Amino acid sequence: MTDHKKLLSIVTPAYNEAENVDEFYSRVLDSTKDLNLDVEIIYINDGSRDTTIDVIRNQRDNDDRITIIDLSRNFGKEIALTAGLDYSSGDAAIVIDTDLQDPPELIPKLVECWLSGYDVVNAKRIGRRGESLLKKVTSYIYYRLLFHISAISIPADTGDFRLLDRKALDALSKLREQHRYMKGMFFWVGFRQKEIEYEREARFKGKTKWNFFSLLNLAFDGLTSFSILPLRLASIIGFLAAFTGFLYGSVIVFKTLFFHEPVAGFTSLVVLITFFGGIQLLSIGIIGEYIGRIFNETKNRPLYIVKDIKHSVFLKKSGVIDPNSQKCV
């Protein structure tokens, strides 16, 4: 280990990726061998139920540049990622999926941009192979919606694949919220950001871990973490509805008093009641989404629990959390 080289941490959360980790490892080594950097690989085993942990332990036996963070259960990708970033000791870290959808061959390009002075280098996907049309369309709409309503500009179509300089990593480690929408948080910290484009590959082996509900949850986390516009929208719609109601009511009172017209039909009454009932429930639902998140945050639990950890040879004591305290400051 030479002392002058900069250290690059490759952070990869793995949940049931036993079939992919060996291929991942060899492609990462291949892609980084010509870089004039030290490289450590940080695996976060996110409560896998297959043999992922055995395969990566095997890699670790032959390569002490690997860190293994074994979480006590499945905490979800966003949290697993956070654990990995907490324990990375590099001058920069690259966040990359183990399933090889983010091509490791792009690493030298990310590094090149970093060395030329950028603090955060985002990989933007220009194609998504192996993903369903429905996922492509919904994510297209979602990212554009998020871009327009969030207070920070979260660019469309960037996943988690990116490089972060130590400055950005330190800033990010201060954000300890439970509902973590990492894609947004990477932009929230600011710094000099650069975007490069890549074609997203299909998964090497296995299936995506996300289902409709987990994606919906993540989507809500994204919207509620970065915007209170939905709440404001509820107030605005409420105001408009009340105003329209007042006008319509006045017309009816006027007609009844001066023209003695009978009250308008039953149908319009039912329509109005269900319409406004719907708006009210929707508004309460929106408020509920925010309250639920406040509830979770106030519990102030640690983000994750580490069952076992094996550090890479590069571990620097400073800035790394004590795994026994489980609490990050």
Q: Which residues bind Mg ion (CB under 5 A)?
A: 97, 99, 101
Q: Quick one: 206 or 238, whose CB is closer to ligand UDP?
A: 206
Neighbour count for residue 42 (Cβ, 10 Å): 26
Q: Quick one: 29 or 231, whose CB is closer to ligand UDP?
A: 29
* 218 is a contact residue toward ligand UDP (CB under 6 A): no
Whether 46 and 21 have beta carbons less than 8 Å apart is answered as: no
What is the b/e burial string over 13-39, where b = at least 16 CB atoms within 10 angstroms of the residue's CB? bbbbbbbbbebbbebbeebbeebebbb
Contacts of 260 (CB under 8 A, 6+ apart): none
* One of 51, 138, 208, 217 touching ligand UDP (CB under 6 A): 208
In the 8-state DSSP scheme, what is residue 106?
A: G
* Total of residues contacting ligand UDP (CB under 6 A): 16
Contacts of 185 (CB under 8 A, 6+ apart): 172, 175, 225
* One of 8, 17, 38, 198 touching ligand UDP (CB under 6 A): 17
Residues numbered 78 to 97 that lie near ligand UDP (CB under 6 A) are 80, 97
Q: Quick one: 38 or 99, whose CB is closer to Mg ion?
A: 99
* Rounded CA separation 91/303 (Å): 24
Choose the one of Mg ion, ligand UDP, none that binds residue 15, judging by a C-beta under 5 to 8 angstroms depending on kind.
ligand UDP
Residues 100-129: x/- map of binding to ligand UDP (CB under 6 A)?
Answer: -x----------------------------
Nearest Cα neighbor of 83 from 91, 165, 72 is 72
Question: Is 260 strand, coil or helix?
Answer: coil
CB of residue 23 to ligand UDP, shortest distance in Å: 12
CB of residue 97 to Mg ion, shortest distance in Å: 5
Whether 77 and 99 have beta carbons less than 8 Å apart is answered as: no
CB of residue 160 to ligand UDP, shortest distance in Å: 8
Phi-psi region of 6 (alpha: psi -120 to 50; beta: other; left: phi over 0): beta
CB of residue 100 to ligand UDP, shortest distance in Å: 9
Residues 43-72: x/- map of binding to ligand UDP (CB under 6 A)?
Answer: ---x--------------------------
Whether 125 and 198 have beta carbons less than 8 Å apart is answered as: yes
Q: Quick one: 70 or 119, whose CB is closer to ligand UDP?
A: 70
* 77 is a contact residue toward ligand UDP (CB under 6 A): yes
Question: Is 52 strand, coil or helix?
Answer: helix
* Strand pairing class (120-128; 37-45): unpaired
Q: Quick one: 161 or 188, whose CB is closer to ligand UDP?
A: 161
* One of 210, 241, 272, 320 touching ligand UDP (CB under 6 A): 210
* 158 is a contact residue toward ligand UDP (CB under 6 A): no
CB of residue 134 to Mg ion, shortest distance in Å: 16
Whether 172 and 164 have beta carbons less than 8 Å apart is answered as: yes
* 76 is a contact residue toward ligand UDP (CB under 6 A): yes
* 326 is a contact residue toward ligand UDP (CB under 6 A): no
Question: Is 147 strand, coil or helix?
Answer: helix
Q: Quick one: 70 or 99, whose CB is closer to Mg ion?
A: 99
Nearest Cα neighbor of 289 from 224, 215, 233, 238 is 224
* 98 is a contact residue toward ligand UDP (CB under 6 A): yes
Binding site for ligand UDP (CB under 6 A): 13-15, 17, 46, 74, 76-77, 80, 97-99, 101, 208-210
